[in-house]
Amino acid sequence: MFPIIEKRKLNDSMTLMAVKAPFIAKKAKAGQFVILRVDERGERIPLTIADYDREKGTITIIYQIVGQTTMKLDQLNVGDQILDFVGPLGKASELSGHKRAAVIGGGAGCAIAYPQAKALHAMGTKVDVIAGFRNKDLIILEDEMKKASSRLFLMTDDGSNGNKGFVTNALQKNIEDGADYDLVVAIGPLVMMRAVVGVTKPYGISTIVSMNPIMIDGTGMCGCCRLTVDGETKFACVDGPDFDGFKVDFDETIKRSKTYFDQERAAAREENCRLMRGVK
């Protein structure tokens, strides 16, 4: 069992939790993830390690409340325990050797972009963080991203924070203004990452994307997280989650991501009804 030692609402749909998991915290690195199960009847879901504290033995996760399991998870509070919490899984991000980087996060993807930016910044890399949200009320981790970057650009779809546009608009402008990036890291919705690659590819800027396909066991056994990279089948859980954005077949991955859309919505509706009835 893994006790929750901190819980903090970031906005109406996103929550930060710090979980006591000393053995995972001892080995965790930027880019890796955990798979958790809330209770014995629960499904397994992957969540990126947003931060870790080796001395305190804690792992920080950030999740968006969108489905049955995240609804269940959000019912837990400080002092409660998570049944299963396995990790660190996946390959750590390979970030060394870069002079100037842009780390791009879209919505919930900022929870993953933040540790990448933090790791690069600690290496002495000059880091621009570009974060995109639908509106100002959904902005998360602003202070944390500011500390982990040389410059922070916050974009909103509706311009409610005074800076209207998409992350690709800011990226394109920075490149045109002379930002000599030798690395771009993009994390967020698949369509956003594909759009980022569309900007960087003509300039030949090395671009890493963090892939989050359907995942179950996290060890490469089930094959659910497969995707095509440079014409070959890869598994996000063991070969990634980071991949060369120029080589990912985004069209195929986007199509596969919608496989269980109807079932996921039905499960979320059922869980929401259960919570409204106060059923444990």
pLDDT tens-digit profile of 167-226? 999 999 999 999 999 999 999 989 999 999 999 999 999 999 999 878 887 888 888 889
Q: For residue 280, name the pLDDT band (cuts at 50, 70, 90).
A: low
**125-184 pLDDT per residue, tens:** 999 999 999 999 999 999 999 999 999 999 999 999 999 999 999 999 999 999 999 999
Give the sheet arrangement for strand 207-210, strand by strand.
151-156, 126-133, 100-106, 183-187, 207-210, 242-244
Average pLDDT, the chain: 89
Is pLDDT at 78 greater than 60 in this prediction? yes
At the top level of CATH, which class does the domain 104-257 belong to?
A: alpha beta
Summarize pLDDT for 222-264 with one digit per residue, the tens: 888 899 999 999 998 899 999 999 999 999 988 877 765 666 5
The residue that leads in pLDDT, 59 or 267, is 59
pLDDT > 90? residue 79: yes
Answer for the pair 59, 17: CB distance below 8 angstroms, yes or no: no
Q: pTM, whole model, 2 decimals? A: 0.85
In the chain, which segments carry CATH 2.40.30.10? 2-89
What pLDDT, on a 0 to 100 scale, did the predictor assign at position 28? 93
Percentage of the chain modeled with pLDDT above 90 = 68
- The H-or-E segment that residue 207 falls in is strand 207-210
Region 2-89: CATH code: 2.40.30.10
Helix (H, G, I), strand (E, B) or coil at 123: coil
Is 167:155 a contact under the CB 8 Å cutoff? yes
Q: List, by residue range, all CATH 3.40.50.80 domains of the chain.
A: 104-257
CA 213 to chain centre: 12
Pairing of the two strands 183-187 and 100-106: parallel
- The whole-number pLDDT of residue 12 equals 87
Answer left, alpha or beta for residue 79, where phi above 0 means left and psi between -120 and 50 means alpha: left
Rounded Cα distance, 267 and 102, in Å? 37
Q: What is the pLDDT of residue 107?
A: 86
